[in-house]
Every structure is written in C-alpha cells, then in structure tokens.
Structure 1
C-alpha cells in the first residue's frame, strides 16, 4: 500500500509538467518532418548535418542558460525557441537520412542495362498470376554486353514472369518438384527440386530499371512505397532463348525468418490439395486470407476480396494490423500471467503483472517480426513498448501523453510514416480507444490500484472487450458483463466509424456506410476466432479446417453486405484542412460537451461532407490525360458532365488501369462519367473497361466494334466464385462520323469512322474479324470544342486515316490540344496532318522507357518544328489543360514534385 501512495503523491507533478510539453514537442517534431517531406529536391547532406548540429547546440545553450539565476526570458518565448529548435532537428534528421539513402541510388545510365547478377533472395517471394516478385540482394554483377564487372549494391525488387514452361515451373509454389537449373557435381547445369525461396543464392540475367511509378491524383505512389521499403532499383528476369539460363547456387542459410514465413504460407496455401473434397472458389480465396493473417503476405488475398473489404470497410482486419498485434499481445499477457502465478519462486522474484506485460510484449514483437515487420505492426509494437516501460516504472501518464511519446518514437525511426494513411488512421483509432478506456477507468478506480493497470491497460480491455472481473464466476454476472461489453463495443464502434469519416474521405475518397455493421461482425470473428485458429492450424490441422470454414462463411456474409444499396459511396477527396476541421468537429459532436458545442460540431461536420471542388464555368471544358502507362485514358469534364476516352491498359499480373488509375482518380475528384468511348479494340485502350463498367452501371459506351468483342467477362467482386457478364445491350452503341452533342456549351463531335466504313468492316452476320488490316485503323476520332479552343482525340490512327480526315475537312482538324496518334509512332503524324492540326500541346501517353520507343524522336521533332510542345506522360504524370487557358498546361509531377520521385527529363 505504501508503494501505491507514493505513486499517487507523485502524480500531480507529472500531470502538470509532462503532458502539455509532450504534446507540443511532438507537434513540433511532426511539423519539422512534414516540412522536410515537402521538399521537391534534397539539399547536400552536409547542409542537413550542419543544421542538425546547430539545432542541437542551440538547444544545449538554451538549457544551460535557463539554469542560470540571471535568466529572465519569458517562459512563452523560451518555449517557442525550444519548439523551433526541435522542428529544425526533425527537419535536418529526416533530410540527412534521405540524402544518405539517395546517395546510393541506381545511376540513371544503368537504367535498361542487361546484367548477370549473383545474389540472394532477401524476402518472402510474393505470388501473383503469372509472376513472382522478391527482394534480391546483389553480391556480384557483370554487364552482359562487354562483360565488365559493375558495382551493383542496390537492394532490388525483382519480377520473374512465367514467360515459358521453364519459368512457369520454377515459379509454381505448389509444385512438389520444381525444376530449375543448378550446378551439378561435375560443374554442368543439372536439375534440382527447389522453388524460389528466401535465402537461396541465384545467378540471374536481369534488366535493371530505375524505380518508376504512375503519377496521378488519388492513386498509389509506388515510388514512395519503394523508397520506404529501402528499394533503390527494380528489375525483371530475362530468360529467353538468347539469355543465360537462371542458375540456382544453393541455400545460404540466411534470411531464416523469411524462409520460415514462406514455408508456413506455402503450407497454408497447399492445405486445399490435401482436402477430401474439391475446394470451392470461396474456400480457395479464404485460405489466401488465412495465409495473409498468419504471415503478412497480403498478395495471397484475391483482388476481388480486396474489393469486398474496401466496400465494407474491413480491409484493416485482413492484414497484420495493430488490432492483430494488440490481440495477440493481450492473449500472450494472459497466458504468461497465468503460468507465472503458478510458480512461487517467480512470484517472489517479480510481480505477475509486470512479467505478463513484458512477456506479452516480447511475444507480440516476435509475431510482428514473423509477419514481415510491416509499418502497422512496427507502430503497434512501439506503442506497446512505451506502455510496458512506463507501466513497469510505475509512471502514471494520461493516455494522450503515452500516445504522444509513441508517435514521437515512430516518427524519429520512420519520418515517412507521415505520408501513410495507416499512420493517421491507427493513431486516431487508438486515441479514441484510450480516451474511452480512460473514461471507463475513471468510473472504476479500483482497476488502477497497481502501476500496470493504468489507462493503457484499460485501453486494451476496451479494445478487446475483455474483463478480468471475478464476477465472471457467476452466470448472472457473466450475462450482465457480456451485455455491458456488447454495449461498450457498440458505443466504441459507431463513434469510431463517425470519427474516421473525415480521414477516409480525405485519404480514400470513400464513405463505407455498411462499415459499421460489417465491423461489428468482422472484428470479433477475425480477431478472436479466425486469426488464433489459423495460427494454431499451422501445427494442428483441425484448427486450420475450422478457421477455413469460419473465414469462408464470413467472406460470404461480407460479400452479401457489399451488395447492399449505397454500401459504399465515392466522395470527393476533401483538402487536409477540411479533414482536420471535420475531425475536430466530430470530437465536439460526440464528446461530453455542452449542447451548443455538440450542435456546432455536427453542423461543421456536415459542412465538411458537403464540400465540393469548384465547378468549371459554363462553356469551358477540361482535358485530363491520365498517366496510365503504355495506353490511352483521357477524362473530359464540363460544368455538369464528364466522359472518358479509353479506359487504359491491362497490366500483366497486376490488374488494369481501370481499377488502379482511372477509378481512384475519378473518386478523388468526385466525378461520375456518363460516357466511355473506347477508341478501338486493343488491350492498351480497353483493358480497364470492365472495372469502369462495374463501377458505373449507368455509364454508356461508344465503340467502333461490336458488343461481342468487348472483354467484360470477369470474376465478380461481390459474388465470390462466380463470374459475371455485363449486359451492354442497352448501353453500347457505335461511334461514327457525324455523331455530335452539346454539354454545357461545349461541342462534342466524332470525325471518324463513317457509318459506311463501319458497315464495311463488320458484316451483318456478326463476324468477329474486321475487314481491315488492323484494329488501329478503326479508331474513333473525336473533337471537343468551344469558340475559344479545341481538343482532338485520335486513338491509334495511322497515316492513311489521317489522309482521310484531311480530305474530308482539314479545317475541322485545327486544335490547341492533341492526343498524339498511336502514341507518337512513326506510322502516324504525317507532316500534312501536323500542319493542319497545328496544336499548342501534343500529348504522348506512353510507358516509361517503353520497348516501342514511343514517341519516336523524329515525330517529336516534327511537332516541335510546327510550334507545339510535346508532353510525355512518364515525365509529366497526369496533365491538366483547360479551354479557358489554352496556352498553359499543368503536370502533376511538377505540381507535386517530391525528392523520392524519379527525376523527370527537362
């Protein structure tokens, strides 16, 4: 009892001195990091070193002077200087680390270089359809051409495509005997029975590439993700007839943890092969989810399932997240505490509560490491470490001080976590949990009778809905406790749902109205049933069967919820300041405040949801050429209407531009297109059509080919295991010369092909083969114009089609904005055509360092001589052009330039 009284006596001093200063210091720290992350280019490393040393020296002098009796500086001024110095230190620390990492980046002249590399597989291979990706740590490298050795030290993200039968076998994780080439005893290449595994040494023929990603508003920043992962180069395996065959050089014994993760994952994925009955598609997909929950390999989850999880708002549960680490830590604490109390010598050595806290933390750390040590797991482990340390030392901090310290530790170790949505979502969610737990702890003071049972411990109880009350021994008390915990869970979940809306709208452009119901079901099932059973199932087969059955049933229910009307709706991405104001308003609305303040909070929250981007003026249109890679995808907006010209390409083993680029960009702007024009039937223009057609059921389609040729059959995201055929009978029609309409004072007109040409190309019997040499020749050509400016979209037309347009009406081709015909190939853009269009801007939608060398240098030179500026999407990202200002164009890469991005040319 004396110990308890000592802690209570020390508490007021700590409450007065620490919490306010901790919060302000963390805010200063975060501000410094955030400012550094906005830098478009890095300074020399010496500049950051000087700034860091100067800030540290200034802080030391300030502390020394503050201890002198003659110190007379006001407290507010001295605190302001301290916060400024902390922000400077954070800025310099993040900049120094970035400059140090960037110094060893892959040289630009090595991009596209073919090399033969000997190295070690340094990560769990990630499985996709037709491709396996893994981290590769080089040990020795030699250029294929010339044979000279090169100093290749960069950690690489390597893709190995199943381009032939040999690769297809080598990349099949389920094969019992995977053939690949290895060195035999006699030095010759021989067969071995080993797949690509972590820790193996290989000799591979690689083509090096600089880290490069697509750049569009609202889409995933692949280059930033690679930067955070410590990857400085990408490559793909070349195993054609002219390339040296891949050679397996044995097991190095390194990366044992990654090897163990791979063995567990492959065992889980292969469990269906030993089933007594044929597994359904739903069961196969559920096993992939189990593998992700146990090993952290999110690529084991089917893309259709991710769509269901996105709609229902439970995606945070289907990977190793803070919830799973917290649940595991709590279970581990219970087990360690129970065992500890059974041993008297251990009880005499250390209290069971302290042993349980440290045991749970160590086991949670081991679980986080085994699951891949991903960022959400890192944040949770650091927060648990802060709680265990301060609890063990008997320090009584309020929850916001503990949370602030955990946030500071996370940011110091990983300043780039500020750019991750999970950072903000997890800390806001944990803050809500801790706040609710502290309120409950205030109502039950007896729970805080020991240092370990502080507010963070109550937070864990509130998060996991578990109580250690002795009243559970009676059935009546058990019933009452269960009802009370269910009420607490309901209160927690609906408040958390509302509080996270400003963040989900700002980060993802979506509100999941069904998320409350889905999470009420999924959180206890996944956290308390599926995940523990899946982990136990690694060693105990019946537990895996039960976990698989439970996950299959849950997946079916979630798919049903996802089909509810307005289950999830797209929402314009609000600016960060509106999101912050909305979060503050939600706290006022839901908190224990006066009625007037709660009403004000509700009104401001509604204003945040009502925010919309300013519409275009009447008679003005905007053209957005999206960065989709080697393909076409253009958005055209007027004041109240929007349409798409092409849907982007499909990507090998990685979805398509419709779901990865076009749809997220449209969501970020809150745009719902009414029309989709597919210029011609090539994958680089129609690959994303299926995803867009599913997302926008009312959108009409215009194309120069029959409905039967549109590749829209795909697995249904909402009905797992079943494929669907989109009905286009009432939605699809022909694009043909003379078709025109007016939207908000803007004229739209098709110039090519004519109705006669369409009739000649496609027979009345529904022939699936056009009577034309190639599909490029059937491309629709559309002109969008006002009295001030015009844009011309051309698809992949060639010189012959350009001549037909010139002969029909050359004056009608004049435009300020031009989509380069056929991406700037030498088969298009004749001199007469270029002169007739005379564009200000010529847009080339191409892939970075594409194999076709589009746009061709001679074509670019032709436009430059005609007075046009050629904009290439790999260098510009998404480009924005408005008819109101036809002389200017905005590039997304230039507007949001960051130092981790690939340097643009010019």
Structure 2
C-alpha cells in the first residue's frame, strides 16, 4: 500500500506541478508522525516533491520561447534509427528523414538536449551513431488545440524531447557506432534476407529492432483497424514472449546441465535457475529495441517477479505492480504523463487477473478481447472484428513470427526469417479480409477517459464472478 501511495504522490506532483499541496502533505505528515507514529507519510511528501521537481526540470530543459523558430548552430549525435521515407510534398516526390539527436554546443541554448528534426531532400542521409555539426530551425513543443488530436507538447515532455524542427545544414564528423548503429545494421540485414516478401520486409525489422520505417501508411492503418497495432510496438507482450521461451529452455536444458557441472547449484530449483536465461534474453531484446520506455517498463516488471521467485518470497499481484510502477517512475518520472504507461499497466493487471481466474483454454479466448480494447484505446481506432483478429494474431506471433524472427536474426538463418515472413504475410491477409467485412470501417472512442472506463468494464465482464448477482 505504501508503494502505491508513494507512486500516486509522484504522479500527482508530475500532473499538478504546484507546491501548495506539498505544504498540506507536510502538515499531515507532521501530525501523523506526532500522534500516530505513521512515518510512511513522509514518503508522500518526498514522492510529491520529487514529482514537482522533475516536472519543472523537464520544462526548464525545453527550448526557450524567445528562440522559437530561430536557427541555431549545434553539435550532436544521432540516436535511435533515422526514419527515411519518400513522400509527395509541394507537388513533387522527395525524401524526408526524421532524426532523433542529442545536441549541445549552443550559447543561446546551453546544456545537452534531445531534439527531433526533419530533413527534407537531404544532401546526405544520416545513420545511427553519426557525430554531426548542424544548423537547425527549432520550435517550442506545442499541443494541438483539438479534442481528438494528440497533445504533442505533453507527449514530448513525457519522452524527454526538448524541441522539434527542421534541419537546414549538416556535416558528418565521424560515426561512433554503438548499440543504435548495430540495430540499424541488423535492420538492413533482416530486410535484405526477406526482400521477396513485401510485408515481411516491412514488419520483421519492426519486430526485431523496433525499426518501423518500412511500414507504409496503408499497412500501418490495416494493423490499427484490426486491433493488431500493439504487435508492432516492442513492449510487454514481446518481452514476455522472449522471457517465457528462454525460461522454458533454461528449465528444460540449461538448468540441469548447470546443476551437473556445479554441484553447489543443486540447492536451487530448476525454476529458480531458469530465471537467469529468461532475464538475459529479455534484456537482450530490450537492447535490440533501444531500451525504449515500453520495454523498460516490461523489463522492470519482469525483474520484480524474477527476484520474488528467486528468493521464494510470496509477492501478491498488486504488490508486484506497485513495486514495478514505483521503480519505473523513479527511473523515468515524466513517464507519468504518458497514456501508454497507464494502458500498459492496466493491460498487465487485467491479464494477470485473468490468468488467475480462468482455465488456459478460456484464457486464449479472453486475452484477445483485452488486447483489442487496449489497442483501441491506445490508437483511437478499431473494428468490431478486432477481438477475432487478435484471437488469430496473438498466438501466431507468439508461437511462430517473433521466435522465428529473433532466432533467424541471432543465428543468421534465412530460412527462419522466411518462416517468420510467411507468418506475417498470412496475418496481413487475415487482417485485410477482416477489415473488408461489412461492418463499420472504424469506431472512434470519444476520449481517453472513456476508453479507460471501457477497459474497466471489459475486465469486470471477463471476471468469473462478481460480488453481487
């Protein structure tokens, strides 16, 4: 309970950003410690104060308003994989490259910052790991004054993006390599191995290293309409699949060998030893995804469960979720402003409740409903056939596409990548068939709160019993 209250205080600090509730909490803490010896109230004060401080730190990092649309000379390094697309713009086809950079070296905007730049008809295409000197026209992050539009300012603050803009001039100094450069090379290798499969060439790099640059707008919309867009974003589902496969292999093969080689390990059960390869596999996959926020959240939750299982400490579902939420907020406090954080935790809670209250065969029927509703809330689009699509797609990607794609990349076996591409082609055919049924093409949820209430309603309907008739 204390972890949930501390996490809630941090979230309130990030959302509100004002100091007067801190005075109220201080007064409550002093009275509570004096009369009831409730020292845990101090954590509410610390949590709220930490949230407010982090919010103001994030706002202070953003581009100052007086430099809005100013051209600044900077140095930087490309982080993540640049997205390169060919677009029709101003009456002609041209190449646009979207680049995430860490920049520094400006007297007008001192410090190190993260920016997202668009380069139109670039003279040179940048790669992950490039060290560059550049001139860029930067803009202050802004929201969209539209009830149904995305709040870009809030999303950028949650993601740590301090400015967006347009790249005017760039020169490459060197390439420092690193994890992102390795991910970009892997993406090119995977795409080249399945070049004969148009959909596999677009989807497999997204599943292996999180590179969605090859996804066309029509293909992305097909995944959205049928509730399968969550399969393309490396997150909790993917990390759980990889960890589950490595745990099973570790328990069946690696753990008995380790116990035979090292007799001292026999005091640990096979289930305990299996968590080592499971965590290593999950961390490796998170590294392939660039340690994005969704993968970090999933990894933290997995580590909480693994530690509890290793030390044989009984940890309830809500305690595990509370510990994971608190650790995530300590690492990335402004993630509290991201809707995806709450959707992912809500989906995990719903799935965990279903696994404890339903037989496996019923679970396979109910999980696609949960994933379809979560996808509808996250991407604001769905079709009534989304649960049916997820009933086919989730087992297909869990048992074939994702394992074959990762093993094919790891072992450099084109036939495994070909098998994964075949699964992708089949899944796209299923989605196109379902999207073309005689049902409304899409339904827009009225708001994010309405979607969250819908998830709660679905969760209650899927429970095996209620506390009232």
Would you say the 8 A contact 1:589–1:597 is kept in 2?
A: no
Structure 2 portions without partners, runs of 5+: 87-94
The alignment's TM-score, normalised by the length of structure 1, stands at 0.46
Partner of 2:189: 267
Pair 1:94-2:18 in alignment: no
Q: Which one of the candidate residues 32, 41, 46 is aligned to 2:9? A: 32
Q: Secondary structure at the match of 1:125?
A: strand
Would you say the 8 A contact 1:56–1:89 is kept in 2?
A: no
Deviation readout 1:171-209 (Å, 9 max, x if unpaired): 3xxxxxxxxxxxxxxxxxxxxxxxx22222222232232
Any residues of structure 2 matched to 1:583-598 within 5 Å, and which? 585-593=457-465, 597=468
The alignment's TM-score, normalised by the length of structure 2, stands at 0.85
Q: Which one of the candidate residues 304, 316, 320 is aligned to 2:234? A: 320
Pair 1:431-2:361 in alignment: no
Partner of 2:92: none
Report the Cα offset of residue 102 of structure 1. 2.4
Pair 1:532-2:450 in alignment: no
Deviation readout 1:82-111 (Å, 9 max, x if unpaired): 56x554433321110121232233222222
Pair 1:162-2:121 in alignment: yes
Q: Secondary structure at the match of 2:80?
A: coil
Would you say the 8 A contact 1:157–1:231 is kept in 2?
A: yes
Report the Cα offset of residue 541 of structure 1. 1.6
Deviation readout 1:389-426 (Å, 9 max, x if unpaired): 11122111232322232233333433443443333332
* C-alpha distance 550-583 of structure 1, shift in aligned 2 (>3 A): closer
Would you say the 8 A contact 2:206–2:212 is kept in 1?
A: yes
Q: Which one of the candidate residues 394, 399, 419 is aligned to 1:546? A: 419
Q: Secondary structure at the match of 1:528?
A: helix
Report the Cα offset of residue 30 of structure 1. 5.0
Any residues of structure 2 matched to 1:609-648 within 5 Å, and which? none
Partner of 2:365: 490
Pair 1:297-2:215 in alignment: no
Any residues of structure 2 matched to 1:574-589 within 5 Å, and which? 576=449, 585-589=457-461
Report the Cα offset of residue 155 of structure 1. 2.2
Any residues of structure 2 matched to 1:658-673 within 5 Å, and which? none
* C-alpha distance 355-506 of structure 1, shift in aligned 2 (>3 A): closer
Partner of 1:558: 431
Pair 1:401-2:319 in alignment: yes
Any residues of structure 2 matched to 1:387-786 within 5 Å, and which? 387-439=305-357, 485-494=360-369, 496=370, 501=373, 510-538=381-409, 539-566=412-439, 569-573=442-446, 576=449, 585-593=457-465, 597=468
Q: Which one of the candidate residues 334, 341, 350 is aligned to 2:256? A: 341
Q: Secondary structure at the match of 2:355?
A: helix
Deviation readout 1:570-626 (Å, 9 max, x if unpaired): 2452573x66665555454443436x935xxxxxxxxxxxxxxxxxxxxxxxxxxxx
Pair 1:251-2:181 in alignment: no
* C-alpha distance 213-339 of structure 1, shift in aligned 2 (>3 A): same
Report the Cα offset of residue 347 of structure 1. 5.2
Any residues of structure 2 matched to 1:796-811 within 5 Å, and which? none
Would you say the 8 A contact 1:51–1:89 is kept in 2?
A: no
State the distance in 1 between where 2:415 and 2:128 align: 28
Corresponding residue pairs, total: 455
Q: Secondary structure at the match of 2:278?
A: helix
Question: Which structure would you say has the larger RCO, counting Cα contacts within 8 Å and 6 or more residues apart?
Answer: 2
Would you say the 8 A contact 1:506–1:573 is kept in 2?
A: no
Would you say the 8 A contact 2:405–2:417 is kept in 1?
A: yes
State the distance in 1 between where 2:377 and 2:430 align: 28
State the distance in 1 between where 2:280 and 2:27 align: 37
RMSD: 3.3
Q: Secondary structure at the match of 2:113?
A: coil
Computing the radius of gyration over CA atoms, which structure comes out larger, 1 or 2? 1
Q: Secondary structure at the match of 1:158?
A: strand
* C-alpha distance 597-58 of structure 1, shift in aligned 2 (>3 A): closer
